[in-house]
Amino acid sequence: MPSVLITGTSKGIGYETALAFAYAGYNVCATMRNPSKAPALAEFAKHKKLPITVTAMDVDNDESVQAGIAEVEAHHGPVDVLVNNAGIERLGSIEELSIDDFRAVMETNYFGVLRCVKAVVPQMRQRRSGTIINISSVAGTFSHPPATPYCASKWALEALTEGLACEMKSFGVRVALVEPGIIDTAMARRISSGADSVYPHATRIATLFTATLSETPVHPSLVAQKVVEITQANTWQLRHPVGPDAVPIIALRKGLTDEQWIDLHSADEETYRQRMSALTGKDPDPTV
């Protein structure tokens, strides 16, 4: 059985991806920072007799990543598929968030991926085989407040992944990005709750997420199935938007100049609503 290592599997996309690979016939090493605080996956796997081993691994820590991957290789041999899913968010204006907030997001979403990649790439290169899939976001294709720290980390991840793909293709190692839109996860629910700010953008994004999650919620299993599909399809396609709103959101940004994008997000509320309605065909705040 091929082996897959997945980070951030305590809930959401990572949890569903672990199950999807197990049902597809893979030996799954599901890693998370604190397995004792999130026992659901291990309990479900035991009940269903699924080939899932839950392992503690903190992607923010060099030693933890090295030890976690060494444990996988000791039990299952070389990692055939690496899925970098672990991620966090911080929402707020650049003025209101601390440097530590920005640093924490980059540490997990960018450097955490880099640690895991560097730990598996040598053996994949030597074997001339392997797949690395990094979970990015539509936010990796644009930036706007109050998600600026998250967008910055995903921009960095996209650049890292594109460069890695250029390096690894000649060695037969496939590299891909998955770019979900708004998915019904704990992170999305937190964003929909909003936050206090002197800037209007926190309320705007909370309204968008609330409307999407209530009207057309997308289960994280959709992303999980795409990750398995990419692994099994033998495709060299780099970017894979996922979810009904992913391609429209990316297209919306690409359809505007930089100045139009900035004008949209800096407009007063009424102008913002009118412009978004014209661009998307629906009111960004249906409660008004």
Residues noted as catalytic = 150
Which residues is 28 bridged to in the sheet?
Answer: 4, 52
| Listed residue (102, 117, 110) closest to 136, CA to CA | 110
Please tell me the distance from the alpha carbon of residue 47 to that of residue 102, in angstroms, as a whole number: 40
Burial of 76 (0-12, 13-18, 19+ CB in 10 A): buried
Please tell me the distance from the alpha carbon of residue 58 to that of residue 34, in angstroms, as a whole number: 8
Task: Please name the residue that has the structure tokens 């998955």.
Answer: 178
Please tell me the distance from the alpha carbon of residue 133 to that of residue 48, in angstroms, as a whole number: 26
